[in-house]
Amino acid sequence: MKRVLPDNKPTLDYELWKSLTNPMIQYQAVQKSDRKWLSSIDRGFSQSSDLWVKEGRDRSKNDTTKVFDFISLSNLFESWFDELKFNKQDLADRIGQRITMIPGAGTYFEGEENTLLEINWIILGRVIGAAVANIGAAEKWWYQKGNDAHVALQFWSHLKRDVVGHRYDATVHANDFTILAQGIEGDNWKKTGDFYRQNGFDPDSEILRSVGHRASSPFWQENHRPNRYYANPFAINHQKSLFAKFSGVEDPEELSKFHGSLTLGVLGDALKSLRGDNPDRFANFAIKIHGMCAFHIVRTDIIQQKIGLHLFSNLVARKMSRDVGGSNVPDIAKNLKTGFGLAKVLNILADKNHKVIQWNSVEKEIVDKIVDGLK
Amino acid sequence: MITVIDGHLSNRPAGGSDFTVGDISGVDYDSNLIPWCKGNSVSVDQRTLDPYRQMFQILIGKARHRLTLIDQGDLKNPMLNSGLDFSDLEALYGKAQARGGRRIMAGEFSGKWKKAELLFINLLLGKHIQLYENKDTHAKVIQGDILQQLNLGVHAKDWEAEGDEKWMMKGICSFLAENQKNGAHIRINESFGWETYIRDRWGAPDGIPGVIPGNLTRKHVGTPTMHIPLHFVLAETLARAMGSMQETEWGKNQSKIRRDMADGALDHPLKDRINLNSFYQLFTKHAAAHMADSFFLRHTDDKTSARYELIEIVNSEPKQWDVIFEPEFLRWRTNQRTRDRTGGVQ
């Protein structure tokens, strides 16, 4: 049944957003206090929540004006899309220069440089999903802890330890990605892999990702040396960023309860860096995002996919392919059917520290009038 | 990937359809195999299909290793370590039988091992694997006996039987367990086209001066002759087919959506597209509306996935779009329809 857009014409989302933003902005940002309030009152599955119904929701605790919510990708992503559209060759050249400075990157990306220009939004969605799950679990909003990301953290550390061996100075070396850049011998790979295989994660299955998209793949094998494995140097960089952030936090929780915040923090830093005037900022952004995706090697939790992969890819796909700047939440909630409280998810994603999305509301009356005019 | 050569079924040469040895050309992946992959690749979570993908990965990986050693002239013992053995399965799935507990009887076979057995049955029936009783001896007699029982349906009858009559006590996993100390293993049947596939997937493509297509000794960059991981799609397809024997059939819904999309496109005057509203509605009809948008992005991550291109319909008001499907995907459906019409004969 119709909530905002007619069921048989979901593509009116483009005209609706255009009408809301042109000639004058008819939406307003959902303020922090309202986001918190909405998080606290959102109950049940997204499709049955009272907040996302066709009648709209109260604007705030003290204002009963009915509104519909709209979410958009952070406008910081906009500059990335523009750079890709209007300055692609320069971006490729700059990434090319940057990788010459990263040990092992030349070998890892040889012949696959074109993938460096393309962000793997599906994996990034999973990264975000695992992070949101972890943050919500720490708040005791749900039980899913984003274990995928935690196992990934453990695996990378474990792998580096196994490669370096039990040396007195192993920790120092374990932080040095030049070692992994030289390749991992089959025995070390098997040793680490066997432990995780017995616990439900097979790192061999992740090698396949290098076939689809080398830039965001965690591992790669040369065709003629089946017993030698290479780790994506960007992933090792990402690990360094995560731990740098972790060590900079005052009184952090234990890592298993905190990795979601760290991940979104690193993503937020990457997004904010797009605002500066460093000519390499877009190349650096691409490298950071590829590293973040490559680092995420465990993809077993189906439940968190809905809040990460599907929610995020919905926004990305519509923006990239049809320039739809914002989507209404009631229709998303209806289709997503997630058991995670959607207002809580949106609250996390809209946090000012990373601001992956922008969360706005529009008066129901205005939206209905526009939609009626579009039919 | 195989053809009749001198009266026998034999592998085609590596190098693709433009490369010929004598009168025999390499494999034309574009006409059937790639469309088949595009139609059958599913995006369900890897955990569901992993047991099958992992096994295929090991089988193919070890065969590839063996062929690489042969190409490199390392002929000390190329038969060694070329298949999947009992210890590989234990490393993947733990012990075959339960110790017993509140919810599981002692001696109950683990679900993963049962899945492995089912996969092996299907692979053996399809001639994709061979059983080896030690490092280099093909267990022709035992393999023949097991095949005979499979053809008689003994495995289905005895699947839930008790004690030694249970199929798991006399099937392929049991063969691996009993002959573990002798080096028993399962090997991909290289002569059933798989050698060509491995060489086309990981070996040198046609056109490199001084290198025989499919040679595995050198590093090369760029697109291989077969750029799609067919073995994973086959593993997933077998898993889906076997899912109905055990649990839910994974990816069934997606298959229906893809069939409906392709049918809609083939019925369009331009034979390659459907309206974007219809695209979304098909997903909604099959209770998968949340997945629709991610299909536009899947190809970045998954080479086996079909590509969908959006194109704005000129002068549409309000603005409308069509989804254009790549020809390989539509060929999959056309081939499928032809097979249905001809009762499987092509």
The pLDDT of residue B134:
87
- What residue spans of A114-199 are helical by DSSP H? 121-138, 147-164, 170-174, 177-181, 186-197
Mean pLDDT of chain A: 87
The CA distance from A129 to the nearest CA of chain B, in Å, is 14
Q: Which residues of B touch A213 (CB under 8 A)?
A: 300-301
Whether B302 and chain A come into contact, CB under 8 Å, resolves to: yes
* A window 113-142, beta carbon within 8 A of B: 118, 120-123, 125
Whether B13 and chain A come into contact, CB under 8 Å, resolves to: no
The pLDDT of residue A39:
93
Interval A3-26: pLDDT, tens: 999 999 999 999 999 999 877 778
The CA distance from A61 to the nearest CA of chain B, in Å, is 30
Distance, CA of A301 to CA of A147 (rounded, Å): 8
Count of CB contacts below 8 A, A vs B?
130
Interval A95-147: pLDDT, tens: 999 999 988 899 899 888 989 999 999 889 989 988 998 898 888 888 777 77
Q: Counting runs of H as helices and runs of E as strands, what totals does chain A give?
A: 20, 8
Q: Which residues of B touch A8 (CB under 8 A)?
A: 277, 281
Which residue pairs, CB below 8 angstroms and at least 24 apart, start in A98-105?
Answer: A98/A280, A98/A283, A98/A284, A98/A287, A99/A287, A102/A233, A102/A234, A102/A237, A102/A287, A103/A177, A103/A178, A103/A181, A103/A233, A104/A177, A104/A178, A104/A180, A104/A181, A104/A182, A104/A230, A104/A231, A104/A233, A105/A181, A105/A233, A105/A234
Do B91 and A313 lie within an 8 Å CB cutoff?
no
* A window 177-206, beta carbon within 8 A of B: 194, 197-198, 200, 202, 204-205
For A14, nearest residue in chain B (alpha carbons): B319
Which residue pairs, CB below 8 angstroms and at least 24 apart, start in A203-212?
Answer: A203/A155, A203/A297, A204/B54, A204/B57, A204/B58, A204/B61, A205/B46, A205/B50, A205/B53, A205/B54, A205/B57, A206/A297, A208/B57, A208/B229, A208/B232, A209/B301, A211/B227, A211/B229, A211/B303, A212/B300, A212/B301, A212/B302, A212/B303
The pLDDT of residue A14:
95
* B window 119-178, beta carbon within 8 A of A: none
Distance, CA of A20 to CA of A12 (rounded, Å): 12
Interval A241-268: pLDDT, tens: 888 888 777 766 677 778 889 999 999 9
Q: Which residues of A touch B198 (CB under 8 A)?
A: none
Interval B149-182: pLDDT, tens: 999 999 888 888 888 888 889 899 999 999 999 9
Query: Both tokens of residue B104?
Result: 């599981």
The pLDDT of residue A300:
64
The pLDDT of residue A364:
95
Interval A158-216: pLDDT, tens: 887 777 766 666 555 555 666 777 788 888 888 888 788 767 777 877 887 787 789 99
> Does residue A373 register a pLDDT over 70?
yes
* A window 280-299, beta carbon within 8 A of B: 299
For B302, nearest residue in chain A (alpha carbons): A212
pLDDT above 90: percentage of residues in chain A: 49
Q: Average pLDDT for residues A324-349, to the nearest whole number? A: 91
For chain B, list residues with pLDDT below 50. Answer: 44, 46, 345-346
The pLDDT of residue B343:
66
